[in-house]
Amino acid sequence: MKVTREMIDPQLRRRGHLLDLFMRSRSEAGFLRFMKRSGRFLSFLKGRGKKGLRMREEWIPRQDGSRLRLCIYEPLEKQDSPVPGVLWLHGGGYAMGIPEQSAGTYRKLMNTRPCVIIAPDYRLSIEAPYPAALNDAYLALCYMKNQAKELGIRKDQLMVGGESAGGGLAAALTLYARDKGDVRIAFQMILYPMIDPSGTTESARDNNAPIWNQKTNSFSWKLYLGSLHGKEFLFTQRLRWRKSIRFFHLHCPL
């Protein structure tokens, strides 16, 4: 779908144009450089809280001996009983981003209903391709379940969610947890999930939007999937993701 200037909100046109020039998305190498530069910029926000939220960090060990950083957001006021637990996965095309960037979403969730939010700083595709991010997400999910009592979380109200790449990762995590059988997820909230590597949908074909378009989307999937990019099984995986989304919409309505 071709994107015209008139289709973009006037307040976003200039910003989108400038970011597009900075990104130099015409080449895969330019895309990778932009993601690395963005990562260095966002690193200054690591560990910083946001007004209206109480945040702390935890580090949990991976099997290879490295550690996964978790940002834990808790209600400002002490709760008399356990609250829902939310595992939130940030967006960024699988290639950039940190948990702190979604603080606005955490505040909205917290204002709607007191909850404890676990936001993992999962490995990005520029560091390690699939399944590194999924493994980190599952590790954080198991931590949320196993530490539920200490965190003040209800074990029967564990939710996963995310936006863009985080939404795609949340869908994959839900299926993975179901297959493993170790954690029962009560609800899934995925926002504009990045789940289709084919680029064949109407909105994806010939998309020339600033910043995120058919080219950058393709570059991002190549980074995330690595040697698996283009393999036939991914189309089966895409159908499984869609079935997961449809199942939760039918059985877990808002």
Contacts 24+ apart (CB under 8 A), 50-59: 50/100, 50/103, 50/104, 50/106, 50/107, 52/76, 52/107, 52/110, 53/103, 53/106, 53/107, 53/110, 58/143
Query: Residue 85: helix, strand or coil by DSSP?
Result: strand
Q: What percent of the chain has pLDDT over 70?
A: 88
Dihedral pair phi/psi, residue 205, rounded to 5°:
-65, 130
pLDDT at 86: 98
Indicate the domain borders of the chain.
Answer: 10-251
Q: How confident is the model at residue 100, as a pLDDT? A: 96
The CATH code for residues 10-251 is: 3.40.50.1820
Give the gyration radius of the chain's Cα atoms: 18
Predicted local confidence at residue 237, as pLDDT = 55
- Kind of pairing between the strands at 83-89 and 67-74: unpaired
Query: What token pair was written down for 170?
Result: 């949340």
Q: Which helix (H) or strand (E) holds 87?
A: strand 83-89
Summary mean pLDDT of the chain: 86
140 or 34, higher pLDDT: 140
